[in-house]
Amino acid sequence: MAAAVKSFHFIVSDGAKVPQDASTRTLIRKQAMKDIGISRRKRAARVPKAKADEPTPIIAEGPIELPAVVDIDLIDPQLYDLDDAVFSAESTAPASTASDESWQLSVVSSRSSSSPSSDEDEQFCSLIATINPSTEYQKLRTKYSFDLMDLSFLTSFNISQVAVWTMQQQPELLETLLGHRICSYLHYVPQRYGQGKRFFDATVDCVLAKASSRMRPDEAGPAMAATRLYAKALREVQTAVSDKKQCDDADLLCAVQLLSCYEIMDSKDLSAFSNHISGSAQLVRNRSATGFKSEYERLLFLGHVGAAYSEAFFQNRASHLAQPEWMQLYDSLSEESTWLTDTHPLMIRVRKIMIYFPGILAEIDTAFDDTDGCSASYKLFEIELRLRSIHQDTKNTLEAYKAHVLRTSMMRPPQCEMHKRREAFGSIMEGLCVCKRMIAAMCDSDRLQLEHEVQSIAQLILDLRDSQQDASHSWVFTNVEYGVAQLVIDTREAWLEDASTLSPVEKRAASKRRCLAFKRGMTPHAPLAGWD
């Protein structure tokens, strides 16, 4: 009995003490697993077994479409830096909102080489949301089989009247822009849809309906439905604009900008697109530069910049964005990053230079038309000084571009970085061409030297077209560059003509003629106000 007592081991709870004897440890494990095994057998007995010849059916509420495979290289890296509260499914928002946010970015959520199963997880999440939509936007997305985020490239800086006019001539080019996701205010639309704002919901409805109809061009029904929804959206937006209480609503600005996206997809009337851009500009000015505080509002302003610049250029007037307070707001959007994005300091610097051009070109017309010789000379000299300052800033920006390329030369850039580099370089070269020619128009003594420089730059741009294969969507910015470069080549003789025997008055008249012809050549397809 004493021997039996000595061999009996008690298990106490005053610390982690592992028995030394191996047989004792085995006995403890068996005893611990006994109850688990019994519980498993009881659960298995309660579950009816399916017959081998009867597969379990899967019931879905609507058509199931697997999400398209998205190339990570085509996704703007800036998407990964947005606020986690917007995109995380584990946010503190209500369950339906969190689920929608997780679904809406299922394709563009952060990925890394250390997570090989991320693609499968994203496709699975998107598929689940399609089968069982839990939010109003998910239901709308399932209805039209189209995700609004695939239109985000339509909110980029380069979508202008030139792009819309080009798509009028070649409607198939729209498809090259779909699916190239960039950082955009469209990321915030799904969570704001279905919140009771009729103008906002009606606009989102018509845009998705239009996108769906463009994917099915052979069917008349979707196109007619999109037109009806567009008419409804116009009525709701007009009612909201007339209400002073809603004029400062960020969702109203978003709705007006979405209507411009509709016009891009419609590609029938440039004036309709221009009207929406003008309406958007009016709402932006009413808010003032200090009214854009939240990330949603700041992205709305970012989406407004390119269209507003283009509209000012085509209307031959200064852009309101060139005013100091708006430039300061645009500067505040800059964010340092390894790769170029729309808010990278280098890209903002390039585009700020472009924003100044419409106003300067309009001032040149005014100076040339001044009948007072002294006043005209003073105005032209003042414009020349500003142009030379912009010219130097453009050259400095080119050096900053070279420094960026050199700084990242030891890393493998993603494809979207290569696209941004091509866009930045082309914009700088285009800016140099325009700036040098305008200086030549102001200062005839430097005209010949500047023209030789312009010809070299133009030839470089055209050589890029012949030597590089551009991305399918890059036409939105390369078309403008190539057009300006070809115009420079075609007008070479006029800018190299000998004016040594002309009087000062005749030289000024010749400069005005060359300058006006160059301006008209940059926009041959659009009727421009004030260019007669």
Query: CA nearest 356: which of 315, 313, 307?
Result: 313
Cite the DSSP H helix spans in 315-446: 324-332, 345-369, 373-407, 415-442
pLDDT at 418 over 80: yes
Task: Tell which wins on pLDDT, 267 or 428.
Answer: 428
Judge if 312 and 338 occupy the same domain: no
Residues in the chain: 532
Biggest CA pair distance of the chain? 133
Same domain membership, residue 406 and residue 301: no
Q: Taking 80 as the threshold, does the pLDDT of residue 63 lie above it?
A: no
Structural domain range at position 173? 66-109+118-316
Q: Are residues 210 and 268 in the same domain?
A: yes
Residue 247 belongs to a domain: yes
Least confident of 109-118, 186-195, 351-360, 454-463: 109-118
Q: How far is CA 435 from the centre of its chain?
A: 27
* Whether the predicted pLDDT of 130 surpasses 80: no
Q: How far apart are CA 509 and CA 512, in angstroms?
A: 5
Q: What's the CA gap between 37 and 58, in Å, rounded? A: 31
Q: Would you say residue 60 lies in a domain?
A: no
Percent residues over pLDDT 90 in the chain: 53
Mean pLDDT of 264-272: 84
Co-location of 252 and 362 in the same domain = no
Same domain, 268 and 173: yes
Residue type, 458: A
Among residues 284, 316, 348, the one where a domain terminates is: 316
Measured distance CA(391)–CA(140) in Å, rounded: 49
In a shared domain, residues 395 and 255: no
Residue 8 is assigned to a structural domain of this protein = no
User: Total structural domains in the chain?
Assistant: 2
Number of H helices, E strands in the chain: 21, 0
Phi, psi of 176 (to 5 degrees): -75, -15
34 occurs within a structural domain: no
Q: Does residue 389 share a domain with residue 444?
A: yes
Residues 361 and 307 in one domain: no
Question: What does the pLDDT average to over 411-421?
Answer: 92
DSSP 8-state assignment for residue 148: G
Tokens 């339509």 -> residue: 154
pTM for the whole structure? 0.75
- Identify whether residues 72 and 175 lie together within a single domain: yes
Q: pLDDT value at position 191? A: 94
Could you tell me if residue 15 is inside a domain? Answer: no
How many angstroms separate the CA atoms of 427 and 478, rounded? 9
Radius of gyration of the chain (CA): 31
Spell out the SS3 assignment of 30-64: HHHHHHHHHHHHHHHHHCCCCCCCCCCCCCCCCCC
Nearest to 316 by CA among 373, 269, 360, 283: 360
CA-to-CA dists, residue 252 to 170, 187, 211, 233, 279, angstroms:
31, 16, 21, 11, 11
- pLDDT of 162: 85
